[in-house]
Amino acid sequence: MKLLRRRSVLFGAAAVSAALMLGSAGAQAQAKVRVALGDVLSTETLSMIIALERAKEKGVDYQVTHFSKEDLAIQAVINGQADLGVGTPYAVVQKSKAPLRVLFQGTRLVFFPVADKSYKTWKDMNGQPIAFHARATGTEAIGNIIAKREGIQFGERSYVPGSENRIIGMMKGQIKATIVDLANKNLLLEKAGDRFHVLPGVSEPASDETLFGRTDWISKNEKQVDVIVTEFLRLWQEMAANPAIVEQERVKRKLMADQPKEVLEGITKFYTLATKEGVYAPAGGSAEVAKADFEFYTEAGQLQGPAGELKVEDFWYLAPLERARKALGS
């Protein structure tokens, strides 16, 4: 499988420009739902854009602004530069009391630790360097949990956004161990399985990318929120039954038309694998999902526990998802 550009980075001035564009665009077209995404349009985020396109067909127009980092997208929603965001705002909600609530579980942390074969077990990684996507993100949370469970401490931590970029670093000998997504794990083993292998990971994946928004905006725009959440749930259910729907919808809407042929040819393969592995869970979330996330992120050190004392309603707003299930008869 070719590189699938998980989290390509828009550096420096591009991120600042994005923020300015989002703010000015919001002033010009308040009717549009402004969505902040800490990523670019890629194979993995394609499904989210398709769901938004379907919502647009139902009368809810939108505008996406891409940021170089997830925390910038979260901050844009907090500051009122965006109405909805895509990311994992748990830690921000707890630490800053930001009025954000999760509406939908987009993807789950189905990630894989990969390492040079000189590291035969996690014990061999004690004191050794490891690379993560970014500070306080899902990949580092997984690393923290593994280190705690294995009774080890990692050495120097480096942060390289994008699974594909970390894979390139491994191929060049610059990174010895990291945690990557499904597509890039498969790519690494395909290209260099003689040099690298997969170490045991976390078997209970928590939420990775979620759809969230500010509570004040959600309460004032319930109908728009309902349409968007319903279209996310509808597509996620369709993907579970037929992963090829994503490529069909992409072609219909002429999305990612500038991407190389090999990337486009890999879309259905990616979604077939991703839905099978549970990256895109068709339920969209629940109180049980939220509680499982609390357990995961508390153990990872990104939420302050005890996990059992955290309240679902302090982090999630489930009413739109419940209405969506009724609308779809699920």
In the chain, what are the domains? 13-108+206-328 (3.40.190.10), 111-198 (3.40.190.10)
Q: How far apart are CA 217 and CA 82, in angstroms?
A: 10
Under a CB-based contact definition with an 8 Å cutoff, are residues 129 and 157 in contact?
yes
Spatial neighbors of 19 by CB under 8 A, at least 6 apart, are: 65, 67, 72, 76, 81
Spatial neighbors of 182 by CB under 8 A, at least 6 apart, are: 110, 111, 112, 270, 273, 274, 277, 279
Spatial neighbors of 56 by CB under 8 A, at least 6 apart, are: 62
pLDDT value at position 52?
98
Report the SS3 class of residue 202: coil
At residue 45, what are phi and psi to the nearest 5 degrees? -90, -5
Q: How far apart are CA 172 and CA 155, in angstroms?
A: 20
Spatial neighbors of 289 by CB under 8 A, at least 6 apart, are: 105, 207, 281, 283
Q: What is the pTM of this model?
A: 0.83
pLDDT value at position 54?
98
pLDDT value at position 86?
95
Report the SS3 class of residue 103: strand
Q: Which of 20, 43, 30 is nearest to 246 (CA)?
A: 43
Report the SS3 class of residue 311: coil
At residue 83, what are phi and psi to the nearest 5 degrees? -95, -40
Q: Partners of 35 in the beta sheet?
A: 64, 84
The CA-based angle 203-209-212, given to 5 degrees, is 135
pLDDT value at position 11?
33
Blockwise average pLDDT, block size 10, the chain, 330 residues: 35 41 44 91 93 98 92 95 95 95 96 97 98 89 96 96 91 97 90 97 91 98 98 98 98 95 92 94 96 96 95 98 96
Q: How far apart are CA 39 and CA 73, in angstroms?
A: 9
pLDDT value at position 69?
83
At residue 309, what are phi and psi to the nearest 5 degrees? -95, -5
The CA-based angle 234-235-239, given to 5 degrees, is 125
pLDDT value at position 204?
84
pLDDT value at position 68?
81
pLDDT value at position 118?
97
Element (H, E) at 132: strand 130-132
Q: How far apart are CA 155 and CA 288, in angstroms?
A: 35
pLDDT value at position 23?
47
Spatial neighbors of 330 by CB under 8 A, at least 6 apart, are: 233, 237
